[in-house]
Chains A and B, each alone.
Chain A
Amino acid sequence: MVISNLEKYKNCFVEAFALADGAQAESLKYQSIQEWDSVGHMALMALLEDNFGILLDTDDIIDFASYEAGKEILRKYDVAM
Protein backbone atom coordinates (compact mmCIF):
# COMPACT_ATOMS: atom_id res chain seq x y z
CA MET A 1 0.00 0.00 0.00
CA VAL A 2 1.34 3.40 -0.97
CA ILE A 3 1.07 5.99 1.75
CA SER A 4 0.66 9.60 0.62
CA ASN A 5 3.03 12.29 1.85
CA LEU A 6 0.17 13.82 3.82
CA GLU A 7 -0.47 10.57 5.64
CA LYS A 8 3.22 10.15 6.34
CA TYR A 9 3.31 13.71 7.63
CA LYS A 10 0.38 13.12 9.95
CA ASN A 11 1.82 9.84 11.15
CA CYS A 12 4.95 11.67 12.26
CA PHE A 13 2.81 13.83 14.57
CA VAL A 14 0.90 10.79 15.81
CA GLU A 15 4.14 8.98 16.67
CA ALA A 16 5.98 11.99 18.10
CA PHE A 17 3.14 13.10 20.36
CA ALA A 18 1.36 9.77 20.96
CA LEU A 19 -1.89 11.06 19.42
CA ALA A 20 -4.97 8.85 19.08
CA ASP A 21 -5.30 9.62 15.36
CA GLY A 22 -4.05 11.89 12.59
CA ALA A 23 -7.07 14.18 12.72
CA GLN A 24 -5.88 15.48 16.07
CA ALA A 25 -2.68 16.69 14.47
CA GLU A 26 -4.26 19.20 12.11
CA SER A 27 -4.94 21.93 14.65
CA LEU A 28 -1.70 21.56 16.58
CA LYS A 29 0.70 24.38 17.25
CA TYR A 30 4.02 24.36 19.05
CA GLN A 31 3.40 24.10 22.79
CA SER A 32 -0.39 23.83 22.28
CA ILE A 33 -0.19 20.42 23.94
CA GLN A 34 2.14 19.20 26.66
CA GLU A 35 3.80 16.71 24.35
CA TRP A 36 4.86 19.36 21.81
CA ASP A 37 7.55 20.93 23.95
CA SER A 38 11.17 21.45 22.84
CA VAL A 39 12.01 17.78 23.35
CA GLY A 40 8.90 16.65 21.47
CA HIS A 41 9.72 19.15 18.75
CA MET A 42 13.12 17.57 18.12
CA ALA A 43 11.53 14.11 18.12
CA LEU A 44 9.08 15.33 15.48
CA MET A 45 11.91 16.83 13.41
CA ALA A 46 13.84 13.55 13.57
CA LEU A 47 10.80 11.59 12.41
CA LEU A 48 10.19 13.99 9.52
CA GLU A 49 13.84 13.80 8.45
CA ASP A 50 13.78 10.00 8.61
CA ASN A 51 10.47 9.58 6.81
CA PHE A 52 11.12 12.07 4.04
CA GLY A 53 14.89 11.59 3.73
CA ILE A 54 15.70 15.24 4.29
CA LEU A 55 17.96 17.32 6.52
CA LEU A 56 16.13 20.37 7.82
CA ASP A 57 17.81 23.75 8.18
CA THR A 58 18.05 25.04 11.71
CA ASP A 59 16.00 28.10 10.71
CA ASP A 60 13.23 25.83 9.45
CA ILE A 61 13.26 23.85 12.69
CA ILE A 62 12.80 27.12 14.56
CA ASP A 63 10.03 28.30 12.20
CA PHE A 64 8.15 24.98 12.36
CA ALA A 65 5.50 26.44 14.66
CA SER A 66 2.40 24.48 13.66
CA TYR A 67 1.07 21.57 11.65
CA GLU A 68 0.13 23.95 8.84
CA ALA A 69 3.42 25.88 8.92
CA GLY A 70 5.27 22.58 8.70
CA LYS A 71 3.51 21.66 5.45
CA GLU A 72 4.77 24.89 3.89
CA ILE A 73 8.29 24.30 5.17
CA LEU A 74 8.40 20.77 3.77
CA ARG A 75 7.47 22.10 0.34
CA LYS A 76 10.90 23.77 0.28
CA TYR A 77 12.36 20.26 0.48
CA ASP A 78 10.23 19.07 -2.47
CA VAL A 79 7.79 17.28 -0.22
CA ALA A 80 4.43 18.10 -1.81
CA MET A 81 1.18 17.46 0.05
Chain B
Amino acid sequence: MKLRRSMLFLPGSNAAMLSTAFVYRPDSIMFDLEDAVSLREKDSARMLVFHALQMPIYRDIETVVRINPLSTPFGMKDLEAVVRAGADVIRLPKTDTAADVHALEAEVERIERECGREVGSTKLMAAIESASGVVNALAIATSSKRLIGIALAGFDYVMDMQTERGDGTELFYARCAVLHAARYAKIDAFDVVFGDLNDEAGFLKEVDLIKRLGFNGKSLINPRQIELLHNAFAPTEEEVDYARRVVAAAAAGERQGLGVVSLNGKMIDAPVIDHARVVLRRAEASGVRK
Protein backbone atom coordinates (compact mmCIF):
# COMPACT_ATOMS: atom_id res chain seq x y z
CA MET B 1 0.00 0.00 0.00
CA LYS B 2 1.66 3.23 -1.17
CA LEU B 3 1.00 5.91 1.41
CA ARG B 4 0.97 9.52 0.33
CA ARG B 5 0.03 11.24 3.56
CA SER B 6 2.84 13.76 3.65
CA MET B 7 4.36 15.64 0.73
CA LEU B 8 7.17 17.82 2.09
CA PHE B 9 7.97 20.98 0.09
CA LEU B 10 11.67 21.82 -0.18
CA PRO B 11 12.92 25.01 -1.84
CA GLY B 12 15.03 23.80 -4.75
CA SER B 13 17.65 26.46 -4.11
CA ASN B 14 18.40 25.41 -0.52
CA ALA B 15 21.45 23.13 -0.53
CA ALA B 16 21.24 22.29 3.17
CA MET B 17 17.63 21.19 3.03
CA LEU B 18 18.20 19.18 -0.12
CA SER B 19 21.11 17.44 1.56
CA THR B 20 19.28 16.47 4.74
CA ALA B 21 15.52 16.28 4.20
CA PHE B 22 15.50 12.50 3.71
CA VAL B 23 16.03 12.04 7.47
CA TYR B 24 12.51 13.27 8.19
CA ARG B 25 11.00 10.36 6.23
CA PRO B 26 8.01 12.03 4.58
CA ASP B 27 6.04 9.79 2.21
CA SER B 28 7.06 12.04 -0.69
CA ILE B 29 9.58 14.86 -1.03
CA MET B 30 8.65 17.70 -3.33
CA PHE B 31 11.54 19.74 -4.69
CA ASP B 32 10.14 23.13 -5.56
CA LEU B 33 11.47 25.03 -8.56
CA GLU B 34 8.52 27.40 -8.72
CA ASP B 35 7.30 29.81 -6.04
CA ALA B 36 9.99 29.04 -3.45
CA VAL B 37 12.77 30.04 -5.85
CA SER B 38 13.56 33.61 -6.82
CA LEU B 39 13.81 34.52 -10.50
CA ARG B 40 17.58 35.01 -10.29
CA GLU B 41 18.15 31.55 -8.79
CA LYS B 42 15.98 29.50 -11.15
CA ASP B 43 19.07 28.18 -12.95
CA SER B 44 20.96 27.23 -9.79
CA ALA B 45 17.93 25.57 -8.20
CA ARG B 46 17.33 23.52 -11.35
CA MET B 47 20.94 22.33 -11.26
CA LEU B 48 20.81 21.51 -7.54
CA VAL B 49 17.61 19.53 -7.92
CA PHE B 50 19.01 17.74 -10.97
CA HIS B 51 21.83 16.44 -8.77
CA ALA B 52 19.75 15.89 -5.63
CA LEU B 53 17.38 13.59 -7.54
CA GLN B 54 20.31 11.32 -8.33
CA MET B 55 21.53 11.04 -4.74
CA PRO B 56 21.32 7.48 -3.36
CA ILE B 57 19.66 8.84 -0.20
CA TYR B 58 16.50 9.61 -2.20
CA ARG B 59 16.18 6.17 -3.81
CA ASP B 60 13.73 4.96 -1.17
CA ILE B 61 11.56 8.09 -1.04
CA GLU B 62 9.14 9.15 -3.75
CA THR B 63 10.54 12.29 -5.38
CA VAL B 64 8.23 14.93 -6.81
CA VAL B 65 9.36 18.12 -8.57
CA ARG B 66 7.17 21.16 -8.90
CA ILE B 67 8.33 22.71 -12.15
CA ASN B 68 7.55 26.21 -13.33
CA PRO B 69 4.58 26.50 -15.69
CA LEU B 70 5.47 25.55 -19.26
CA SER B 71 4.29 29.03 -20.32
CA THR B 72 7.27 30.60 -18.51
CA PRO B 73 10.88 30.67 -19.80
CA PHE B 74 11.80 28.18 -17.03
CA GLY B 75 9.23 25.40 -17.26
CA MET B 76 10.64 23.47 -20.23
CA LYS B 77 14.21 23.74 -18.92
CA ASP B 78 13.02 22.38 -15.56
CA LEU B 79 11.31 19.49 -17.28
CA GLU B 80 14.36 18.62 -19.41
CA ALA B 81 16.49 18.45 -16.25
CA VAL B 82 14.28 16.56 -13.85
CA VAL B 83 12.87 13.89 -16.20
CA ARG B 84 16.46 13.05 -17.17
CA ALA B 85 17.51 13.04 -13.50
CA GLY B 86 14.88 10.43 -12.68
CA ALA B 87 12.17 12.35 -10.81
CA ASP B 88 9.36 9.96 -9.92
CA VAL B 89 6.61 12.55 -10.32
CA ILE B 90 6.32 15.96 -12.02
CA ARG B 91 3.92 18.35 -10.32
CA LEU B 92 2.37 20.78 -12.76
CA PRO B 93 1.35 24.05 -11.11
CA LYS B 94 -1.65 26.14 -12.10
CA THR B 95 -3.44 23.36 -13.98
CA ASP B 96 -6.59 24.91 -15.40
CA THR B 97 -7.62 22.38 -18.05
CA ALA B 98 -6.97 18.84 -19.25
CA ALA B 99 -5.09 20.39 -22.19
CA ASP B 100 -2.42 21.60 -19.72
CA VAL B 101 -1.80 17.99 -18.68
CA HIS B 102 -1.79 16.77 -22.29
CA ALA B 103 0.83 19.40 -23.20
CA LEU B 104 3.00 18.34 -20.28
CA GLU B 105 2.59 14.65 -21.05
CA ALA B 106 3.69 15.10 -24.66
CA GLU B 107 6.90 16.85 -23.58
CA VAL B 108 7.62 14.28 -20.88
CA GLU B 109 7.26 11.47 -23.39
CA ARG B 110 9.58 13.23 -25.84
CA ILE B 111 12.25 13.65 -23.16
CA GLU B 112 11.89 10.04 -21.99
CA ARG B 113 12.50 8.86 -25.57
CA GLU B 114 15.47 11.21 -26.01
CA CYS B 115 17.23 10.16 -22.82
CA GLY B 116 16.37 6.46 -22.91
CA ARG B 117 14.10 6.48 -19.88
CA GLU B 118 11.22 3.99 -20.02
CA VAL B 119 8.23 5.72 -21.64
CA GLY B 120 5.50 6.15 -19.08
CA SER B 121 7.80 5.82 -16.05
CA THR B 122 7.58 9.54 -15.21
CA LYS B 123 4.36 10.05 -13.29
CA LEU B 124 2.44 13.33 -13.10
CA MET B 125 0.35 15.23 -10.62
CA ALA B 126 -1.70 18.32 -11.27
CA ALA B 127 -2.03 21.21 -8.85
CA ILE B 128 -5.37 22.96 -9.04
CA GLU B 129 -5.06 26.59 -8.08
CA SER B 130 -7.98 28.42 -9.69
CA ALA B 131 -11.73 28.43 -10.15
CA SER B 132 -11.13 27.15 -13.68
CA GLY B 133 -9.09 24.24 -12.34
CA VAL B 134 -11.76 23.34 -9.80
CA VAL B 135 -14.54 23.47 -12.38
CA ASN B 136 -12.44 21.28 -14.70
CA ALA B 137 -11.22 18.96 -11.92
CA LEU B 138 -12.86 15.84 -13.34
CA ALA B 139 -11.46 16.39 -16.83
CA ILE B 140 -8.03 17.07 -15.34
CA ALA B 141 -8.12 14.01 -13.07
CA THR B 142 -8.99 11.71 -15.97
CA SER B 143 -6.67 13.33 -18.52
CA SER B 144 -3.67 10.99 -18.32
CA LYS B 145 -2.73 7.50 -17.19
CA ARG B 146 0.41 9.03 -15.75
CA LEU B 147 -1.50 11.03 -13.15
CA ILE B 148 -1.03 9.71 -9.62
CA GLY B 149 -2.98 12.50 -7.98
CA ILE B 150 -4.35 16.00 -7.98
CA ALA B 151 -3.63 18.60 -5.35
CA LEU B 152 -5.51 21.66 -4.27
CA ALA B 153 -3.28 24.70 -3.79
CA GLY B 154 -5.03 27.03 -1.40
CA PHE B 155 -3.30 30.38 -1.68
CA ASP B 156 -3.70 30.98 -5.41
CA TYR B 157 -7.19 29.47 -5.34
CA VAL B 158 -8.54 31.83 -2.68
CA MET B 159 -6.92 34.75 -4.50
CA ASP B 160 -8.70 33.73 -7.68
CA MET B 161 -11.95 33.44 -5.73
CA GLN B 162 -11.44 36.96 -4.34
CA THR B 163 -11.38 35.72 -0.76
CA GLU B 164 -8.73 34.68 1.77
CA ARG B 165 -7.76 31.73 3.94
CA GLY B 166 -9.98 31.37 7.00
CA ASP B 167 -11.62 28.51 8.84
CA GLY B 168 -11.87 26.31 5.75
CA THR B 169 -15.31 27.44 4.62
CA GLU B 170 -13.64 29.23 1.70
CA LEU B 171 -12.15 25.91 0.51
CA PHE B 172 -15.18 23.70 1.10
CA TYR B 173 -16.43 23.45 -2.48
CA ALA B 174 -12.94 23.16 -3.96
CA ARG B 175 -11.95 20.41 -1.54
CA CYS B 176 -15.07 18.41 -2.32
CA ALA B 177 -14.76 18.94 -6.08
CA VAL B 178 -11.09 17.93 -6.21
CA LEU B 179 -11.71 14.96 -3.95
CA HIS B 180 -14.66 13.66 -5.98
CA ALA B 181 -12.69 14.03 -9.20
CA ALA B 182 -9.78 12.11 -7.71
CA ARG B 183 -11.96 9.33 -6.38
CA TYR B 184 -13.77 9.03 -9.72
CA ALA B 185 -10.42 8.77 -11.50
CA LYS B 186 -9.05 6.44 -8.80
CA ILE B 187 -6.06 8.65 -8.10
CA ASP B 188 -4.86 10.35 -4.91
CA ALA B 189 -6.02 13.71 -3.56
CA PHE B 190 -3.82 16.13 -1.63
CA ASP B 191 -4.93 18.98 0.52
CA VAL B 192 -3.44 22.48 0.85
CA VAL B 193 -0.49 23.50 3.03
CA PHE B 194 -1.15 24.79 6.53
CA GLY B 195 1.03 27.84 6.88
CA ASP B 196 1.02 28.67 10.61
CA LEU B 197 3.78 26.46 12.00
CA ASN B 198 3.12 27.53 15.58
CA ASP B 199 -0.57 26.60 15.52
CA GLU B 200 -0.36 22.87 16.18
CA ALA B 201 -3.98 22.63 17.31
CA GLY B 202 -5.17 24.39 14.15
CA PHE B 203 -3.05 22.09 12.01
CA LEU B 204 -4.46 18.97 13.67
CA LYS B 205 -8.01 20.28 13.35
CA GLU B 206 -7.49 20.78 9.61
CA VAL B 207 -5.87 17.34 9.28
CA ASP B 208 -8.84 15.76 11.03
CA LEU B 209 -11.21 17.51 8.63
CA ILE B 210 -9.43 16.53 5.44
CA LYS B 211 -8.94 12.95 6.66
CA ARG B 212 -12.67 12.64 7.33
CA LEU B 213 -13.43 14.13 3.92
CA GLY B 214 -11.26 11.42 2.38
CA PHE B 215 -8.01 13.10 1.28
CA ASN B 216 -4.91 10.88 1.04
CA GLY B 217 -2.70 13.49 2.57
CA LYS B 218 -1.46 17.01 2.67
CA SER B 219 1.29 19.19 1.30
CA LEU B 220 3.63 20.27 4.13
CA ILE B 221 6.09 23.12 4.41
CA ASN B 222 7.91 22.09 7.58
CA PRO B 223 9.30 18.74 8.76
CA ARG B 224 7.76 19.36 12.21
CA GLN B 225 4.34 18.66 10.69
CA ILE B 226 5.23 15.19 9.36
CA GLU B 227 4.95 13.16 12.56
CA LEU B 228 1.78 14.99 13.62
CA LEU B 229 0.21 14.22 10.26
CA HIS B 230 1.29 10.58 10.11
CA ASN B 231 0.03 9.97 13.62
CA ALA B 232 -3.33 11.58 12.87
CA PHE B 233 -3.73 9.39 9.78
CA ALA B 234 -2.82 6.17 11.63
CA PRO B 235 -5.77 4.05 12.84
CA THR B 236 -6.36 3.82 16.60
CA GLU B 237 -5.79 0.63 18.57
CA GLU B 238 -9.58 0.31 18.94
CA GLU B 239 -10.12 0.67 15.17
CA VAL B 240 -7.50 -2.01 14.50
CA ASP B 241 -9.01 -4.38 17.09
CA TYR B 242 -12.47 -3.92 15.63
CA ALA B 243 -11.16 -4.41 12.07
CA ARG B 244 -9.52 -7.70 13.14
CA ARG B 245 -12.79 -8.91 14.69
CA VAL B 246 -14.71 -7.93 11.52
CA VAL B 247 -12.29 -9.81 9.27
CA ALA B 248 -12.36 -12.84 11.59
CA ALA B 249 -16.18 -12.82 11.73
CA ALA B 250 -16.35 -12.53 7.94
CA ALA B 251 -13.96 -15.47 7.54
CA ALA B 252 -16.03 -17.55 9.98
CA GLY B 253 -19.23 -16.64 8.11
CA GLU B 254 -17.66 -17.65 4.82
CA ARG B 255 -16.65 -21.02 6.22
CA GLN B 256 -20.26 -21.54 7.32
CA GLY B 257 -21.56 -20.43 3.93
CA LEU B 258 -23.27 -17.31 5.27
CA GLY B 259 -23.60 -14.28 3.00
CA VAL B 260 -24.00 -11.81 5.83
CA VAL B 261 -22.81 -12.21 9.43
CA SER B 262 -23.28 -10.10 12.53
CA LEU B 263 -20.78 -8.96 15.10
CA ASN B 264 -22.11 -7.84 18.50
CA GLY B 265 -25.52 -7.41 16.91
CA LYS B 266 -24.29 -5.30 13.97
CA MET B 267 -24.55 -6.52 10.41
CA ILE B 268 -21.20 -7.14 8.72
CA ASP B 269 -21.52 -6.89 4.94
CA ALA B 270 -19.05 -6.44 2.11
CA PRO B 271 -18.39 -2.67 2.46
CA VAL B 272 -17.74 -3.07 6.19
CA ILE B 273 -15.35 -5.94 5.53
CA ASP B 274 -13.56 -3.98 2.79
CA HIS B 275 -13.16 -1.01 5.13
CA ALA B 276 -11.79 -3.29 7.87
CA ARG B 277 -9.19 -4.64 5.45
CA VAL B 278 -8.18 -1.08 4.51
CA VAL B 279 -7.75 -0.23 8.21
CA LEU B 280 -5.52 -3.28 8.73
CA ARG B 281 -3.42 -2.49 5.65
CA ARG B 282 -3.05 1.09 6.81
CA ALA B 283 -2.03 -0.06 10.30
CA GLU B 284 0.53 -2.38 8.75
CA ALA B 285 1.96 0.44 6.64
CA SER B 286 1.83 3.29 9.14
CA GLY B 287 1.56 1.78 12.61
CA VAL B 288 -1.08 2.53 15.21
CA ARG B 289 -1.94 6.01 16.48
CA LYS B 290 0.04 7.05 19.57
Asked whether A and B interact, the reply is no
